[in-house]
Amino acid sequence: MNMFKAFYKVAALLLLAVISLQGCKSQYDLLLNSNDVEEKYNAAFDYFNNGKFSKAARLFESMAVQTSGTSKDDTVQFYWGLSNYRFKDYYTAETNFAKFLTNFPRSPFSEEAAFLRIDCLYRSTYRSELDQKPTYTALGIISQYMVENPNSSHFATCSRMVKELNDRLDKKAYDNARLYYKMELYKSARTAFKNILKDDADNIYREDILYYTAKSSYKYAQLSVEAKQKERYLVFVDDYYNFIGELPDSPYRKELDVLFKRSQKALGRYSGSEEDLETKEKEFERDRKKLLKQSDSE
């Protein structure tokens, strides 16, 4: 009997808890569907200030039509977006801020809304190996903001964003070209590397790109049929001189010097011995291992 009493007591407590939860929920739902704008407005800010951003966003959204054309209009629209932003729903928040800027370009909230829209776009970009269309979109909007707001307190942050996103695009282009090289498609690799610098001479991987351009042309010549090797080694020679002319002190220099001598030998222009070439290759390999060891220890 005592066991049954205990069971009914627990069941009653659970029922009371469920009823209590339903009461809280229905109170919020009643407020959500209420026509009392003032009550909803105050409640929305209470939820916002207490960190309940999802509930605040729903309340601001629910009164957006009711406050349209009133003195509260831009405040409600801005905090609707800000609530979604604080809730980390950046996709919805970006839509909110974009609409806000169209409807309220002269609002006291407009500059902050413009920056928060940028931050939403920035946060919605992908790492370099994925689609970069969102990156291009973000860069366009950020650049426009910086032109229109040169004295903004967010200018330095925007500059950092632009650099980071541009660096990501540089890496994307470099990695795509490297993929051809790794697949031993050396002609395509050289073309891809050349096109990177044609489109973006200031790519942050410029030194590596020039190095792999030369390496690609050398390997393409080396693997060609004998009848085609001469003209293709001459292409490598051009790439080699282009590299050392710009980067004479590069750590890649020793390796390319060896390849240059190999190409000169293939072209009948090298007067040194095979032993000399092998010595140079061993020196390069020793230095390369030393650099790798230093890099691993740092």
Residue 281 and residue 185 in one domain: yes
Residue 213 lies in a domain: yes
Q: What is the DSSP string of 10-39?
A: HHHHHHHHHHHHHHHHHHHHHHHT---HHH
Given a contact cutoff of 8 angstroms between Cβ atoms, the answer to whether 126 and 135 are in contact is: yes
Within-domain flag for 19: no
Residues 196 and 277 in one domain: yes
Q: Classify each residue of 183-207 as buried b or exposed e, where b means 16 or more C-beta atoms within 10 Å of its C-beta.
A: eeebbbbbebbbebbeebeebebbe
Two structure tokens written together for 290 = 């030393």
Q: Domain check: are 49 and 83 in the same one?
A: yes
**Length of the chain, please?**
298
Q: What 3-state class would DSSP assign to 43?
A: helix
Whether 29 is covered by a domain: the verdict is no
Dihedral pair phi/psi, residue 71, rounded to 5°: -70, -15
Backbone angles phi, psi at 31, to 5 degrees: -65, -40
Please report whether residue 79 resides in a domain: yes
124 and 232 together in one domain: no
**Under 8 Å between Cβ of 214 and 192:** no
Cα-based angle 239, 242, 246 (whole degrees, multiple of 5):
145
- Classify the phi-psi angles of 69: left when phi > 0, otherwise alpha if psi is within -120 to 50, otherwise beta: left
Residue 3 lies in a domain: no
**Tell me, what DSSP letter sits at residue 272?**
S
- Number of H helices and E strands in the chain, helices first, is 13, 0
In a domain, residue 132? The reply is yes
Specify the higher pLDDT residue, 2 or 39.
39
Chain centroid, CA 19 distance in Å: 48
- The answer to whether position 140 is within a domain reads yes
Q: Which of 154, 178, 196 is the last residue of a domain?
A: 154
Domain containing residue 94: 34-154
214-263, pLDDT tens digit by residue? 999 999 999 999 999 999 999 999 999 999 999 999 999 999 999 999 99
* CATH number of 91's domain: 1.25.40.10
Identity (one letter) of the amino acid at 82? Answer: L
Instruction: Report whether pLDDT(292) > 50.
Output: no
160 inside domain: no
Last residue of a domain, one of 112, 128, 154: 154
pLDDT of 59: 96
**Alpha-carbon distance values, 122 to 94, 109, 115, 117, 140 (Å):** 10, 20, 10, 9, 11
- 9 pLDDT band, cuts 50/70/90, is low
**66 shares its domain with 108:** yes
Confidence category of residue 12, pLDDT binned at 50, 70, 90: low
Q: Is 27 exposed, middle or buried (0-12, 13-18, 19+ CB in 10 A)?
A: exposed
How many domains are there within the chain? 2
pTM > 0.85: yes or no: no
Residues 178, 287, single domain; the answer is yes
Residues 139 and 204 in one domain: no
Give the pLDDT confidence of 104-150 residue by residue, as tens digits. Answer: 999 999 999 999 999 999 999 999 988 999 999 999 999 999 999 99
Q: Which among 121, 154, 187 is the end of a domain?
A: 154
H or E, element range at 113: helix 110-123
**pLDDT for 277:** 60
Please tell me whether residues 198 and 258 are part of one structural domain.
yes
Q: Are residues 145 and 114 in contact, defined by beta-carbon separation less than 8 angstroms?
A: yes
Q: Are residues 136 and 187 in the same domain?
A: no
Asked if 237 contacts 263 with a C-beta cutoff of 8 angstroms, the reply is: yes
pLDDT for residue 278: 65
Q: What is the pLDDT of residue 268?
A: 86
| pLDDT tens digit sequence for 163-183 | 999 999 999 999 999 999 999
Do both 70 and 43 map to the same domain? yes
Q: How far apart (Å, rounded) are the C-alpha atoms in residues 92 and 98?
A: 10
Same domain, 66 and 186: no
Judged by DSSP in three states, 184 sits in: coil
Q: Are 206 and 264 in a shared domain?
A: yes
Helices (H), 131-154: 133-148
Three-state secondary-structure class, residue 124: coil
Distance of CA 227 to the CA centre of its chain: 46
